[in-house]
Amino acid sequence: MKKSLGPKIVVGATVVWVVGTYDRGGRPNVMTAAWGGVCCGDPPCLCVSLRKATYSHGNIVEQKAFTISIPSAAHVTEADYVGIASGRDTDKWQTTGLTPVRGELVNAPYVAQFPIVLECRLLHTIELGLHTQFIGEILDAKVDDSVLGDGDFLSIEKAEPFFFVPGGRDYYAIGRGIGKPFSAGTSFRANQKGRE
């Protein structure tokens, strides 16, 4: 039996991404965002939504560039902190010990300590209400050697991304493998029904 909860963001779990930007003075900033995802395969694009009130929002509008650094479970404390402090009045790098690295392809910094980094140029800005959605084209993915497996494939067990649950009491680590994509479902093919 399903219970109606109203127009609430009850979506299971979301990504935890850290957005890197420069302000007009060239100061690097980072903030954590959970409203984001992939939005196009070709060109490869991702989207992330920020409130207008954030310092990072203005930085993206000005620089037309940002990075996404994806923290591991080991960085949950740092990732949480950079989501609650503001770059307007705090130096999040000095406070946390995280290190900004200038992007190679875009004018935005990324977090040296996080294992996955995406350099993005701003493609679209969509005003939705409380949040603005920024769509960025992924110009390069940079991944720590230590989280790559055979053939330069990401080892998700080593990268250990984690998740946010809107309204929830915890961040959650990634868990066990449960089935093969584009394969698990083929067991239904023997029984496949045509459309009438």
- Near a copy of itself in 115-154, by CB under 8 A: 116-118, 123-124, 126, 128-131, 133, 135, 137-145, 148, 152-154
Total residues binding a copy of itself (CB under 8 A): 116
Q: How far is Cα 135 from Cα 47, in angstroms, rounded to an integer?
A: 4
Asked if 58 interacts with a copy of itself (CB under 8 A), we say no
Residues 61/52, Cβ–Cβ less than 8 Å: no
The Cα–Cα gap between 111 and 92 comes to: 11
Q: Does 45 bind a copy of itself (CB under 8 A)?
A: yes
Q: Pick between residue 12 and residue 24 the one whose CB is nearest to a copy of itself.
A: 12
| Among residues 26, 52, 99, 170, the one that binds a copy of itself under rule CB under 8 A | 170
Residue 63 C-beta: closest distance to a copy of itself, Å: 18
Residues 66-105 that bind a copy of itself (CB under 8 A): 68, 70, 73, 76-85, 87-91, 94-96, 104
From the number of C-beta atoms within 10 Å of its C-beta (0-12, 13-18, 19+), residue 195 rates as exposed
Handedness of CA 153, 156, 160, 161 (dihedral sign): positive
Q: Look up tokens 């992007």; give the residue.
A: 103
